[in-house]
A = this chain, B = another copy of it.
């Protein structure tokens, strides 16, 4: 089912057929069976994408990013280079006797979602079971242990909220309840501890 204009670099190992049109996969990437990738994505070199991952359309996955089972990445997401996802809060080697029956079922697996338009900076580590809200911006090197609000900018280890980002990527400054992006003029309003765009496109 791989579309005709999909590009797959000859050094990569791609075992899924579920890749949408115009998606490109670069050198030494490994994409396992039972991965779904939408159209018009770019998957950088040295990426690893495990069975059970779903990636929407128009996503950019930079080099060396490791995406494990249970992760869903929605449309238009940016995942920077060297990002690592996780799916187990208390990992043990499944081959360790003391781990007992922990890995007999998939109960240990915590799913993670990255909502549409969000960006994850280089080298960020995404804890198991979190939701990264739409258009959120995770700073480079951040270690995300909790859910991230839509449009929030989070930084540090552990990652903490440090501001807001526009859909276009620009940082937003709130002096009043409503603000206007200095780059694209989208407008946002605060709502408790969250924000939302005033005109939804």
Contacts and interface: CB of A to CB of B under 8 A. Distances in A.
A48 B48 contact: no
A120 to B, nearest CB: 9
Given A30-B26, A125-B122, A157-B157, A170 B90 contact: yes
Interface string A111-122: 000000101011
Interface string A83-108: 01110001111111111101000000
Copies of this protein in the complex: 3
A72 interface: no
Nearest to A39: B95
A148 interface: no
A88 B96 CA distance: 30
A13 interface: yes
Given A123-B84, A156-B157, A156-B158, A117 B96 contact: yes
A104 to B, nearest CB: 13
